[in-house]
A and B are shown apart, each in its own frame.
Chain A
Amino acid sequence: MPEQVTTSENSVRDPARIGVYVCHCGNNIAATIAVDEVAQYAAGLNKVVVSREYKYMCSEPGQAMIEQDIRDHGLNRIVVASCSPLLHERTFREVLSRSNLNSFYFQMVNIREHASWIHDNRAAATEKAKDLVRAAVRRVALHRPLEPRRVPIDPAVLIVGGGIAGIHAALTIANAGKQVYLVEREPTIGGHMAKFDKTFPTLDCAACILTPKMTSVGAHPNIKLWTYSEVMKVDGYVGNYKVTIRRNPRYIIEDLCIGCQECITACVYKAGKVDDEFNLGLSKRKPIYLAFPQAVPQKVVIDPENCIEFKSHRCKKTCVEACAERGAIDLNQKEEIKEITVGTVILSTGFKTFDPRRRPNYGYGRFQNVYTSLEVERLINASGPTGGDVILRDGTRPQSIGIIHCVGSRDHNTNRWCSKVCCMYSLKLAHLLKEHTGAEIYNFYIDMRTPGKNYEDFYDRMLDEGVHFVRGRVAEVSDWAAHPSEKGKLIIRAEDTLAAFVRRIPVDMVVLSVGMEPKEDAHDVRRMFNVSCSSDGWLTERHPKLAPVNTLTDGIFICGACQGPKDIPETVAQAGAAAAEALSLISAGCIDLEPYTAKVMEEVCCGCKTCIPMCPYDAISVDEAKQKACVNEVLCKGCGTCAAACPSGSIEQNFFEDEEIFEEIAGVLTHA
Chain B
Amino acid sequence: MKFAYYPGCSLRGTGRAYEDSLLAVFRALDIELEELEDWNCCGATTYLSFDELTSYALSARNLAIAERMQLDIVAPCAACYLVLNKTQHYMHDYPHIDQLVRGALKSIGFDYKDRVKVRHPLDILWHDIGVETIRSKVKAPLKGLKVAPYYGCQIVRPYATFDDQYAPVSMDRLLEAAGAEVVSYPLKTRCCGGSQKGSLPEIGLDLLSYLLIEAKKCGADVIATACPLCQFNLEVFQSEVGSRQRPISMPIVYFTQLLALALGAPFSDIGFKYSVVPIQPVLRQKEIACA
Residues of chain A whose beta carbon lies under 8 Å from any beta carbon of chain B: 360-361, 363, 366, 476, 478-480, 482
Contacts and interface: CB of A to CB of B under 8 A. Distances in A.
A482 B210 contact: yes
Contacts of A479: 186
Interface in B251-267: none
B166 A480 contact: no
A366 B165 CA distance: 12
A363 B167 CA distance: 10
A480 B164 contact: no
Interface of B: 164-167, 186-187, 190, 210, 214
Nearest to A480: B186
B166 A360 contact: yes
B165 A480 contact: no
A480 B187 contact: yes
Contacts of B166: 360-361, 363, 366, 476
A478 B190 CA distance: 11
Contact of B214 (A361, A476, A480): A480
Given A480-B186, A480-B187, A360 B165 contact: yes
Nearest to A482: B210
A476 B191 CA distance: 13
A360 B166 CA distance: 7
A478 B189 CA distance: 11
Given A360-B164, A361-B165, A366-B167, 4 more contacts: A360-B165, A479-B186, A480-B190, A482-B210
B198 to A, nearest CB: 22
Contacts of A360: 164-166
Nearest to A363: B166
A404 to B, nearest CB: 16
A361 B166 CA distance: 7
A360 B165 CA distance: 7
A-B complex: 5 closest residue pairs judged by Cβ atoms? A480-B186, A360-B165, A360-B166, A480-B187, A366-B167
16 contacts: A360-B164, A360-B165, A360-B166, A361-B165, A361-B166, A363-B166, A366-B166, A366-B167, A476-B166, A478-B186, A479-B186, A480-B186, A480-B187, A480-B190, A480-B214, A482-B210
Contacts of A480: 186-187, 190, 214
Nearest to B188: A480
A486 to B, nearest CB: 11
Contacts of B190: 480
A480 B189 CA distance: 12
Contacts of B167: 366
Nearest to B217: A481
Contacts of B210: 482
A115 B107 CA distance: 40
A358 to B, nearest CB: 11
Nearest to A365: B167
Nearest to B213: A482
A480 B148 CA distance: 15
B134 to A, nearest CB: 27
A478 B165 CA distance: 13
A447 B142 CA distance: 53
B77 to A, nearest CB: 24
Nearest to B210: A482
Contacts of A366: 166-167
A386 to B, nearest CB: 28
Nearest to B164: A360
B213 to A, nearest CB: 9
A273 B233 CA distance: 51
A466 B165 CA distance: 36
B112 to A, nearest CB: 28
B78 to A, nearest CB: 19
A421 B186 CA distance: 34
A476 B164 CA distance: 15
A287 to B, nearest CB: 33
Nearest to B158: A413
A104 B148 CA distance: 79
Nearest to B185: A480
